[in-house]
Amino acid sequence: HVIFYSTNMRLRLPLLCIILEVILIILFGTLVEYNDDTHAKLWNENRTDSATRNDHENEFYYRYPSFQDVHVMIFVGFGFLMTFLQRYGFSSVGFNFLIAAFSLQWATLMQGFFHGLHHGKIHVGVTSMINADFCTGSVLISFGAVLGKTSPVQLLVMAIFEVTLFAVNEFILLSILGVNDAGGSMTIHTFGAYFGLMVTRVLYRPNLDKSKHRNSSVYHSDLFAMIGTIYLWMFWPSFNSAITNYGDPQHRTAMNTYYSLAACTLATFAFSALVNPEGKLDMVHIQNAALAGGVAVGTAGEMMLTAFGSMIVGFLAGTISVLGYKYLTPVLESKLKIQDTCGIHNLHGMPGVLGAVVGAVTAALASPDVYGHGLQRVFADVETGKWNPQSRGGFQAISLAVTLGMALFGGLITGFILKLPIYGAPPDTHCFEDGLYWEPFSDPLVIPPLAKHIHRHA
Amino acid sequence: HVIFYSTNMRLRLPLLCIILEVILIILFGTLVEYNDDTHAKLWNENRTDSATRNDHENEFYYRYPSFQDVHVMIFVGFGFLMTFLQRYGFSSVGFNFLIAAFSLQWATLMQGFFHGLHHGKIHVGVTSMINADFCTGSVLISFGAVLGKTSPVQLLVMAIFEVTLFAVNEFILLSILGVNDAGGSMTIHTFGAYFGLMVTRVLYRPNLDKSKHRNSSVYHSDLFAMIGTIYLWMFWPSFNSAITNYGDPQHRTAMNTYYSLAACTLATFAFSALVNPEGKLDMVHIQNAALAGGVAVGTAGEMMLTAFGSMIVGFLAGTISVLGYKYLTPVLESKLKIQDTCGIHNLHGMPGVLGAVVGAVTAALASPDVYGHGLQRVFADVETGKWNPQSRGGFQAISLAVTLGMALFGGLITGFILKLPIYGAPPDTHCFEDGLYWEPFSDPLVIPPLAKHIHRHA
Amino acid sequence: HVIFYSTNMRLRLPLLCIILEVILIILFGTLVEYNDDTHAKLWNENRTDSATRNDHENEFYYRYPSFQDVHVMIFVGFGFLMTFLQRYGFSSVGFNFLIAAFSLQWATLMQGFFHGLHHGKIHVGVTSMINADFCTGSVLISFGAVLGKTSPVQLLVMAIFEVTLFAVNEFILLSILGVNDAGGSMTIHTFGAYFGLMVTRVLYRPNLDKSKHRNSSVYHSDLFAMIGTIYLWMFWPSFNSAITNYGDPQHRTAMNTYYSLAACTLATFAFSALVNPEGKLDMVHIQNAALAGGVAVGTAGEMMLTAFGSMIVGFLAGTISVLGYKYLTPVLESKLKIQDTCGIHNLHGMPGVLGAVVGAVTAALASPDVYGHGLQRVFADVETGKWNPQSRGGFQAISLAVTLGMALFGGLITGFILKLPIYGAPPDTHCFEDGLYWEPFSDPLVIPPLAKHIHRHA
């Protein structure tokens, strides 16, 4: 028993990190090249060839501010959102940091491999950086489901599999089915949520209530979490618009997301007070449900959804998210044995599915009357002449089904792999506890016997 | 008595939020359209018409980075700045979030209505988003005056009126008087400050000292507040330059603001130590007065103020702000019955007036010698041939008077509306207390009887 | 004794701040002018002259987003990184704020003076703002070495000298030797680190262990510090690319830095666990060593280092940084009497030297085959016809030696100046203590006698 639950990471974590990084470095060395916009020779050759091409047309200036906003969402947004647990702040920010730093490298390779090699090489630039961050976001969503119950070794192993399957699913959706999903309602949120929910289902701990006194927030940890929430909320317009086409699509997507989130926030406050017997607001709802509006316009945001349409979607997303936290999460745990620490089903799962449906409907309603010459800048198949709004809507709907299937199947397999007793997972009595994986720290607030107990145990 | 002071928000807050959002959605559905830069058809039509128009000329690329910086100031800057209170962090960040999310939608309609309809429609894009955030900033300034003493329902009602009057005042200044105020020394700061001061005057609580033990900071809450301060400080150059003309005005405004703030910070530290008997620094000054330099170049920042001029203005602003906190705020409370929780008079009121005066003087000193062909890019009336620096200076000064009048009158009316005993305002004994409006939370630092007492009361 | 150690700042701090700011204002008034891109007349003259020059070519749009990211690193990144001390958060963020606000003004003058006057005037714009922030970063690195042991007056005096010598060293490297160092591995990190280490050596306190109970973190202070870490980590790609040439160099530098940091993070987690007997992670390593990858590609980042090369450099940097914290820092203190509060030798010193070496090697390997027409956009001496990769590499190596010499010599002199007993330095018994310089604050966590003791003492 002691061997199974030993969380000593002295060899396992370093070895895994070093082996992974060495593999990454070798693969990058053999497969990865600068693209036309980052290569000294190629960028300047093209400049000479064409008098109209100037430095300001380098994709850097169109996408880098969005990239940095996305980067903040990944590292500060997700990282601090999960610090709400009273005694898991180091691990929330720290493991988020570790698995994101790994995933973005691995994702560059996987996405590059599936999305098209150039003479056997993967070309990288700011767009690949954004896509890698997006894929990383999906892994961090799944992290939210298993938060506090997994070792960093388990999380890295999960990331290896999830990134790979993410790239496969993304390839099927974007390259084979040719659907739209610039903000990732399907590829990022739905995939990450149902993958993570399946993993946590497989890793079900019947005795998790032994750690329930730590599975909650304190006053200051909720304020740290609000840093994450607010950054995610503010920069979601950049997230959804980061890889849309230049010009009107990027501009429109950012604005649609802005309105969706604003309406979502009012719905969140309204329903948070409404479902409470005393009419009091719940920080869990504010921290999470207010973001559902960004998830739910992840597919349709680049389309002519209108501000009005965006606000309706955002309002619905906030509503179902709060109701999910209040009524569905307890049922998922008690009936389906899904222990979802952060409630990702309410923030990413249901709003992601809503976003996919809204995307399918909006695509099916698209017409040249509304989009004019801009139609082909949103729907890629217009140029190939295969464009048909109804079938487009149909493909969008099929994509949702594919994503759900990939996520649930991938999560199932990955869950069983993570169940092997070799990763130093925390015991049921010490979930949600930084002391297991971090150097002893001083905290005037901690109950001293707890700290001692941890050290004896580990 | 119990009915009057009941803070039970179970029906009032949800109903108000839902009704407001439904009204917003209906109005957006009937009135709001994408502008030329966000509309798929219009943007691409224009592209076809003119070979020189390219995606990089979409206003998105000129303004979106500034918009995101402004957005951070509104949600993180204002939100966290007000977390300095020891037991009001949830409400500071949370209510800031709620009223900002409402105000930006309402402001889009009000500003769109006043600033020019296009065939009966309001056109939206990144500039309207920045303007809406600006108007929201004004509401959040007023929030600072009543912080801890108002319910979220009161704050939403305040926002309805304040946004409307803000749009009227802005219309008078920018469209009728044609003055310059890109960074909002008058429209945002002066207006928001004196509006809020009048509201808090009308809502005067003679027995507020019953809550005085909570009307102060603790060590960690001051650190959270510094997150707000630093973000406001860093991004103020983006705030002041966000809607100036492209090119040199945007560039110059950002730089002038940068120098003003740097000089202001040295003044703040100097005077904070000087006014203290032991020469110790006061976090209240550092958190607030160091920002006054941004307020005070809100009007003149886009003009040829020079780095040198900006630094003088910043130095003065920091000085009067610290002196205001030390000597004026206590007098305002004891003599004028103005209970100004955050000291907005010192951060936004006086520096805003200073900014208006500096703007008037700088405009009056403008000449083609100095500005060359750039004159018309700063002063709009040059193109109409009506330009005259002295009258321009005069109009700037008149604008300050108009703004003060509108703010004081609007705040008076709004204050009396907010005095109605129907909004669930906190009782004098429980101001500055998150427990009234938020789910019970665990806090090892809270004195347990206090928490119990709250629950009994509510 | 009491006079020597009096920390009463009532006159000294205000006088120094006011005198410095007045001098700055006078010098700015006589020496500083808007550059072509910020001047209303000059920018619009140029527009008229050349039909191809448009507003989007204003340097503002190429550099301002990077500037804001750098600005965040300086004020939030450095400021919060140093809040890890349990009782020094106000001073960490506050003094960081003060000395940065001063340094950026002083640096504008010093750098402008050395880097080329225009008819006796210093021209300012966004590039000078970035350079001033860079120089400020160097001062803040040195601040990390003396953190907790110096008064704000000492820090300002240090900044006066350090900024001046920074500008001299930068002039020698960039203008005389003509080397590359866009991200400042040498000019910023190596210089700031060895300057600071020499200062703290001269200020050696044999009895510092009297304050050792405060020279450590608590749970929440480590979380605040992680805000600083994560922002530095995220925005480092902007830091290294902020002043490279437009187009491919800026794009490539950002991407190289991104990969270097990702690899560095895995190395940091690996070695942090490996050097701990229980395999537990140490927050000190995560907070600091994970950033070394950004430092180490500060010189070579703009070159054709490749993602692969960047990852190797990042991995090495993280490794030596963790090992430095574990094994070298204690030796530096016990043997060399260097008390390095933040361990800047591990984060900036050794990785800076590594970055200089990597830069020299990468420059020596540069060839027209690889860079094509882009060669002259990276290596300025190509245009003058003097380019020779081997001598280029040699000059890079010489620059490292010059930087080390300037830093150690400058730190030595400055250290002796700071040793004068006139600046209100904290006594050995009250280092790392906010109570010395800040208004009494309430903190439920503080041991009351300590607070009292401070007041009696001061």
DSSP string, B59-96: HHHHHHHHHHHHHHIIIIIHHHHGGGSTT-HHHHHHHH
Q: CA of C277, closest CA in chain A: separation in Å?
A: 7
Residues 6+ apart with CB under 8 A from C13: B269, B270, B273, B279, C151, C152, C153, C424
CA C176 to chain centre: 22
Residue B120, burial from CB neighbour count under 10 angstroms (0-12, 13-18, 19+): exposed
When computed from its CA atoms, the radius of gyration of chain C, rounded to whole angstroms, is: 22
Closest residue, chain C, to B309 (C-alpha): C29
**Nearest alpha carbon to residue B296 among B214, B186, B374, B213:** B186
Nearest to C281 among A40, A126, A438 (CB): A438
Q: Please check whether residue A76 is in contact with residue C231, taking contact to mean a CB–CB distance below 8 angstroms.
A: yes
Query: Contacts from B42-51 at CB under 8 Å and sequence distance 24+?
Result: B42/A248, B42/A372, B43/A247, B43/A248, B43/A251, B43/A374, B44/A247, B44/A248, B44/A372, B44/A373, B44/A374, B44/A377, B45/A372, B45/A373, B47/A247, B47/A373, B48/A373
| Over residues A416-423, mean pLDDT | 94
| CATH architecture of the domain formed by C11-419 | Orthogonal Bundle (1.10)
First to last CA, chain B: 12
Nearest to A234 among B72, B224, B227 (CB): B72
Closest residue, chain B, to A216 (C-alpha): B442
pLDDT at site B382: 83
When computed from its CA atoms, the radius of gyration of chain B, rounded to whole angstroms, is: 22
pLDDT higher at B72 or C51: B72
pLDDT at site C235: 98
| Over residues B149-155, mean pLDDT | 97
Chain C residues whose beta carbon lies within 8 Å of the beta carbon of residue B276: 10, 439
Q: Which of C266, C268, C288, C383 to mutate to test the interface with A (most CBs of A within 10 A)?
A: C266
pLDDT in tens, C107-142: 999 999 998 788 999 999 999 999 999 999 999 999
- Cβ C28–B259 below 8 Å, yes or no? yes
Token pair of B417 as six digits: 């509306």
Token pair of C192 as six digits: 């700031």
Helices B12-31, A306-323: inter-axial angle, 10-degree rounding: 160
Q: CA of A421, closest CA in chain B: separation in Å?
A: 34
pLDDT at site C454: 38
pLDDT in tens, B74-105: 999 999 999 999 999 999 999 999 999 999 99
Chain A residues whose beta carbon lies within 8 Å of the beta carbon of residue C365: none
Check pLDDT > 90 for residue C236.
yes
Q: CA of A303, closest CA in chain B: separation in Å?
A: 8
Q: Which of A20, A28, A63 to mutate to test the interface with C (most CBs of C within 10 A)?
A: A28
pLDDT in tens, A74-109: 999 999 999 999 999 999 999 999 999 999 999 999
Q: Please check whether residue A75 is in contact with residue C291, taking contact to mean a CB–CB distance below 8 angstroms.
A: no
Helices C248-274, C306-323: inter-axial angle, 10-degree rounding: 40
DSSP label at A425? Answer: P
Nearest to A102 among C255, C266, C304 (CB): C266
| Over residues B158-170, mean pLDDT | 98
pLDDT in tens, B372-415: 989 999 998 887 888 888 889 999 999 999 999 999 999 999 99
Check pLDDT > 50 for residue B306.
yes
| Over residues C335-351, mean pLDDT | 98
Token pair of C28 as six digits: 């700015």
Chain C residues whose beta carbon lies within 8 Å of the beta carbon of residue A40: 248-249, 252, 304, 370-372, 374-375, 377-378
What interface predicted TM-score (ipTM) does this complex get? 0.95
Express as a percent the part of chain C with pLDDT over 90.
85
pLDDT in tens, B33-63: 999 999 999 998 866 555 555 888 899 999 9
Closest residue, chain C, to A11 (C-alpha): C274
Chain A residues whose beta carbon lies within 8 Å of the beta carbon of residue B437: 280-281
Going by pLDDT thresholds of 50, 70 and 90, the confidence category of residue C47 is low
Strand, helix or coil for residue B168 = helix
Instruction: Look at the alpha carbons of B308, B309, B314, B315 in this order and tell me if their dihedral is positive or negative.
Output: positive
pLDDT at site B6: 54
pLDDT in tens, C49-100: 555 558 888 999 999 999 999 999 999 999 999 999 999 999 999 999 999 9
pLDDT at site C445: 56
**Nearest alpha carbon to residue A87 among A224, A194, A244:** A224
Chain A residues whose beta carbon lies within 8 Å of the beta carbon of residue C259: 28, 105
- Range list of H helices, B74-172: 78-81, 89-114, 126-146, 152-170
CB atoms within 10 A of CB A56: 18
Chain B residues whose beta carbon lies within 8 Å of the beta carbon of residue C8: 278-279
Going by pLDDT thresholds of 50, 70 and 90, the confidence category of residue C45 is confident
Nearest to A101 among C266, C274, C373 (CB): C266
Q: CA of C121, closest CA in chain B: separation in Å?
A: 13
Closest residue, chain C, to B238 (C-alpha): C68
DSSP bridge pairs for B123: B33
DSSP bridge pairs for C33: C123
| Over residues C292-320, mean pLDDT | 98
Q: CA of A248, closest CA in chain B: separation in Å?
A: 5
User: In whole angstroms, what is the distance from residue A292 CA to residue A289 CA?
Assistant: 5
pTM, two decimal places = 0.95
- Cβ C41–B374 below 8 Å, yes or no? yes
Q: CA of C389, closest CA in chain B: separation in Å?
A: 37
- Cβ C89–B223 below 8 Å, yes or no? yes
**Nearest alpha carbon to residue A380 among A392, A368, A397:** A392
Chain C residues whose beta carbon lies within 8 Å of the beta carbon of residue B283: 90, 94, 438-439, 441
Where are the domains positioned within chain C? 11-419
User: In whole angstroms, what is the distance from residue A414 CA to residue A196 CA?
Assistant: 10
Nearest to A372 among B21, B45, B124 (CB): B45
Q: CA of B441, closest CA in chain C: separation in Å?
A: 18
When computed from its CA atoms, the radius of gyration of chain A, rounded to whole angstroms, is: 22
DSSP string, C41-101: HHHHHHHHH-TT--GGGSHHHHHHHHHHHHHHIIIIIHHHHGGGSTT-HHHHHHHHHHHHH
- State how far the alpha carbon of C267 is from the alpha carbons of A22, A213, C316, in Å: 10, 34, 8
DSSP string, C371-397: HGGGHHHH-GGGTTT---HHHHHHHHH
pLDDT higher at B440 or A269: A269
Residue A275, burial from CB neighbour count under 10 angstroms (0-12, 13-18, 19+): middle
Express as a percent the part of chain A with pLDDT over 70.
93
**Nearest alpha carbon to residue B75 among B92, B106, B96:** B96
| Over residues A430-434, mean pLDDT | 95
Chain A residues whose beta carbon lies within 8 Å of the beta carbon of residue C383: none
Helices A126-146, A152-170: inter-axial angle, 10-degree rounding: 130
CB pairs < 8 Å spanning A and C = 232
